[in-house]
Copies of this chain bind each other. A is one copy, B any other.
Amino acid sequence: MFKNDTAVVLIECQNEFCSKEGALYNAVKDVLEENRVLDNINNLLNSAREHCYVVHVPISFQQGYPEIGKNPYGILKGVIDAGAFQKNEKGSEFYDAFKPAQKDIIAEGKKTLCAFGSSNLDTVLRANNIKNLAFAGFLTNVCVEATARTAYDRGYNVFVISDCTAATSKEEQTFATEKIFPLFARVLTHTDFINQVLEGKELTTRSERGYYQ
């Protein structure tokens, strides 16, 4: 059955993070490999394409990063310093295994940590009456968390797929998953999400979702 109120949302599943040649691959390598994140995302995508919407949220910047401005600080300065996510370069392309299928939706315009802050993610979700969002991608406690926090504030039912995300250290991955996400999301492994939500008991109204609360 197709759950037309549900979407799997992939944050920045691009070469910079996913490909061994990516500028930020080494930053996530430990968590990526230990948790088999790329395999898990692949499994999640396969099931999602049968059962719900798939929304991709890539990030990229024009030459010279004019979208960030002249005095960057924090993690966006890190993006510039790494030369990451430049348009028309290999690193900003979708990772081969996760390339959008024709019926997937692409939320365009992400330049900020929270996808709602710059991309049209909210527009495409609302247009399709999507209520339940399952987040996967990178970085667990930066863009995934920022986007999941705002999704909660905007009234979505938020899931974070714990083994389909990666941070730059196991400590941060664990802290986000165990301490932070439960404040505003349901945290599930991809197999539990597929079994319980996508292929399992129908997700109809909020009050019936006791099994994952």
Contacts and interface: CB of A to CB of B under 8 A. Distances in A.
Interface of A: 62-63, 66-71, 73-75, 102-103, 105-114, 117-120, 122-124, 126-129, 141-142, 146, 149-150, 152-155, 157, 171-172, 175, 179-180, 182-186, 205-207, 209, 213
Contacts of A126: 69, 154-155
A152 B111 CA distance: 12
A150 B152 contact: no
B183 A142 contact: yes
B184 A74 contact: yes
8 contacts: A62-B106, A73-B186, A73-B209, A109-B119, A112-B152, A117-B123, A127-B155, A175-B179
A-B CB proximity, top 8 nearest: A109-B109, A71-B206, A69-B127, A126-B155, A112-B153, A118-B120, A117-B153, A108-B109
Given A74-B152, A122-B154, 12 more contacts: A67-B105, A67-B120, A68-B127, A70-B206, A71-B209, A107-B109, A109-B118, A111-B120, A126-B154, A142-B183, A175-B175, A175-B179
Contacts of A175: 175, 179
A128 to B, nearest CB: 5
B127 A67 contact: yes
Contact of A207 (B71, B108, B150, B209): B71
Nearest to A60: B108
Contacts of A102: 63
Contacts of A185: 74
Contacts of A180: 141
Contacts of A141: 180
A113 B145 CA distance: 13
Given A185-B74, A205-B71, A113 B66 contact: no
Given A120-B119, A155-B126, A113 B184 contact: yes
